[in-house]
């Protein structure tokens, strides 16, 4: 078997490889993620917008790129069974092409011969002739093993039996790192069967959620815009401001262009609604402070709710990073009594007790949005929690200090991991005799399946939202 090396010259008079553009674009996405840490969900839409590809081909690019990124661990495991060297030692451009080839063989209806031949052409076009024989041999072995096993991942990868090691089994067959599987199982009360459904939902293509921003647009008008634009849309089941699109580009909606509407997961909308709807003790004519406001979706929704008829509240949105602070300012443009301050939420420019409500949409691992960020499950490690949990705790303490007695704080993460959800809240609240934990499920009366309380946990497989976590805490009036 020939080694996979660096790009080299062609041998003989072989004509240049002809690679179809969808596969080439998918490969470019994988290379950008691997080589410079790009975010696929930001890069791919831009590439497709300028590609000139048909709707069908754009869908194929999306399937290949996102699918290969989500399944990277599985694909590498399958490739490891067909090569005499660790996948990590294969030249990266060749490795990404092999991942795309293996994904086509394992997860698509592309005929095996077409998947192998097109991938070999891709290797030839991007890495030269030298690794072609190697790539061809590896993919033919992969195709043979898939045919032998019927594509059964447990058999392909030698997964441990479910009865003996359910966590290890699920890690293999759902293409998640073991530590993420363990966290999901724990968050679901050790229900490994439901955990399988939750992990499988990370591979589903999510609907696009759009918000009709309160005070600027009503949902009926947004639905009418979608119909006029030829987009299939329906009301969100939980937020009165949510619209779910089954496909198409939300940028075709005039209200999204103007900022009266925006792409925002319905779970994110529910966090803002729960905070706004939870009563404070005493007259509520005060300030709401958002300590981690970027990129501005929840801040914009809160500003709209605060600006309703008869409302006299105001909003201070704090964001430490300049680029994200600019996004917050853009989201709040035109909102009355709403300001943006660039700074650290742990040292907000506000006197203790100066706010009626506080929002901590804490920086987190983002495990609740893995279906939207396909590479994230392999990028994140358990070590990330070591830095995030102290920051999350400090931000929650700062928010509690900022609200007046009788005030309310919402703590939210886009993650179900207990270490950055329930454990943070219980630890901080346990050290604060002036704080009580409210039942967050009561603040979301239209949503079922949130758990027993006092915390609310949304799930993609239950609610069709990101896996947002919400806790509500009150600063005691006495």
Q: What is the DSSP track for 344-388?
A: -GGG-SS-TT-EEEEEEE-----GGGTTTSTTHHHH--THHHHHH
Confidence (pLDDT) at 310: 67
What pLDDT is recorded for position 8?
A: 43
Say whether pLDDT at 308 is over 90.
Answer: no
Catalytic residue among 292, 364, 414, 476: 414
Q: How many other β-carbons are positioned within 10 Å of the β-carbon of residue 449? A: 12
In this structure, what DSSP letter does residue 420 have?
Answer: G
Reported pTM: 0.90
- The predicted model gives 48-66 an average pLDDT of 94
- pLDDT band for position 465 (cuts 50, 70, 90): very high
- Across residues 315-344, what is the average pLDDT? 94
Which pair of tokens denotes residue 36? 């410079």
Check residues 3 and 266 and name the one with the higher pLDDT.
Answer: 266
Helix (H, G, I), strand (E, B) or coil at 129: coil
User: Strands, E, within 53-140: which ranges?
Assistant: none
The Cα–Cα gap between 459 and 45 comes to 25
pLDDT band at 275 (very low <50, low <70, confident <90, very high): very high
Look up residue 329 and give its two tokens: 């300012």
pLDDT at 173 over 50: yes
Q: Once rounded to an integer, what is the mean pLDDT over residues 210-222?
A: 96
> At 329, is the secondary structure helix, strand, or coil?
helix
List the chain domain ranges: 21-149, 159-201, 208-263, 266-475
pLDDT, tens only, 377-400: 999 999 999 999 999 999 999 999
Q: β-pairing, 355-361 with 287-290? A: parallel
14 pLDDT more than 90: no
Q: Is 364 a catalytic residue?
A: no
Task: Answer yes or no: is pLDDT of 257 > 60.
Answer: yes
- CA pair distance 76, 337, nearest whole angstrom: 53
For the stretch 331-344, pLDDT in tens is: 999 888 899 999 99
242-245 β-sheet, strand order: 233-235, 242-245, 208-212, 261-263
pLDDT score at 306: 87
**Mean of pLDDT over the chain:** 93
Beta-carbon contacts of residue 295 (< 8 Å; ≥ 6 apart): 324, 327, 328, 331
CATH architecture observed for domain 266-475: 3-Layer(aba) Sandwich (3.40)
What's the rounded mean pLDDT across residues 212-227? 96
3-state DSSP assignment of residue 243: strand
Residue 313 and residue 382 in contact, taking contact as beta carbons nearer than 8 Å: no
Instruction: Give the whole-angstrom CA distance, residue 35 versus residue 370.
Output: 20
Domain 21-149 CATH assignment equals 1.10.540.10: no
DSSP label of 404: E
Instruction: Find the mean pLDDT for residues 41-67.
Output: 94
Distance set, CA 30 to CA 35, 41, 94, 118, 417 (Å): 8, 12, 11, 16, 27
Q: Is the pLDDT of residue 12 over 50?
A: no
Cα–Cα distance between 378 and 309 in angstroms, integer? 47
- Averaged pLDDT, 16-24: 84
Hey, is 412 helix, strand or coil? strand
Which option is the CATH number for 208-263: 3.30.70.1170, 3.20.20.70, 3.30.70.1450, 3.90.550.10?
3.30.70.1170
């Amino acid at each position: 078997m020939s080694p996979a090396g660096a790009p080299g010259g062609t041998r003989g008079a072989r004509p240049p490889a002809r690679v179809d553009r969808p596969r080439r674009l998918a490969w470019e996405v994988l290379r950008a993620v691997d080589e410079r840490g790009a975010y696929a969900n930001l890069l791919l839409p831009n590439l497709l917008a300028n590609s000139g590809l048909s709707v069908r081909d754009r869908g194929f690019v999306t399937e290949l790129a996102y699918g290969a990124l989500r399944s990277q661990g599985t694909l590498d495991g399958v490739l490891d069974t067909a090569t005499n060297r660790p996948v990590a030692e294969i030249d990266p451009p060749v490795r990404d092409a092999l991942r795309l080839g293996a994904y086509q063989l394992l997860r698509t209806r592309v005929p095996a011969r077409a998947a192998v031949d097109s991938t070999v052409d891709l290797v030839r076009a991007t890495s030269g002739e030298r690794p072609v024989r190697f790539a061809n041999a590896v993919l033919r072995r992969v195709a043979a093993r898939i045919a032998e096993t019927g594509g059964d991942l447990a058999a392909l990868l030698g997964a441990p039996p479910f009865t003996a090691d359910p966590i290890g089994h699920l890690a293999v067959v759902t293409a998640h790192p073991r530590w993420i599987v363990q966290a999901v199982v724990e968050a679901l009360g050790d229900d490994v069967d439901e955990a399988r459904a939750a992990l499988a939902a990370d591979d589903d293509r999510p609907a696009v959620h759009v918000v009709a921003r309160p005070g600027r647009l009503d949902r009926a008008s947004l639905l009418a815009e979608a119909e006029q634009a030829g987009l299939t849309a329906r009301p969100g089941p939980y937020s009165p401001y949510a619209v779910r699109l089954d496909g198409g580009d939300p940028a075709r909606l005039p209200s999204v262009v103007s900022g009266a509407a925006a792409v925002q997961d319905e779970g994110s909308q529910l966090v803002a609604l729960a905070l706004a709807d939870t009563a404070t003790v005493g007259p509520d004519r005060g300030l709401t402070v958002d300590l981690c406001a970027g990129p501005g979706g929840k801040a914009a929704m809160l500003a709209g709710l605060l600006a309703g008829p008869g409302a006299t509240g105001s909003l201070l949105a704090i964001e430490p990073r300049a680029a994200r602070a600019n996004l917050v300012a853009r989201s709040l443009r035109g909102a009355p009594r709403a300001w943006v301050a660039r700074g650290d939420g742990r040292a907000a420019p506000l006197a203790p007790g100066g706010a009626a409500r506080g929002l901590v949409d804490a920086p987190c691992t983002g495990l609740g949005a893995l279906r939207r960020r396909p590479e994230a499950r392999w990028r994140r490690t358990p070590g990330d929690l070591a830095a995030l949990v102290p920051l999350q705790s400090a931000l929650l303490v700062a928010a509690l200090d900022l609200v007046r007695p009788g005030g309310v704080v919402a703590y939210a993460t886009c993650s179900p991991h207990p270490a950055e959800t329930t454990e943070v809240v219980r630890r901080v609240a346990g050290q604060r005799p002036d704080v009580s934990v409210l039942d967050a499920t009561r603040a979301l009366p239209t949503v079922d399946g949130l758990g027993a309380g006092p915390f609310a946990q949304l799930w993609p497989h239950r609610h069709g939202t990101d896996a947002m976590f919400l806790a509500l805490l009150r600063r005691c009036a006495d």
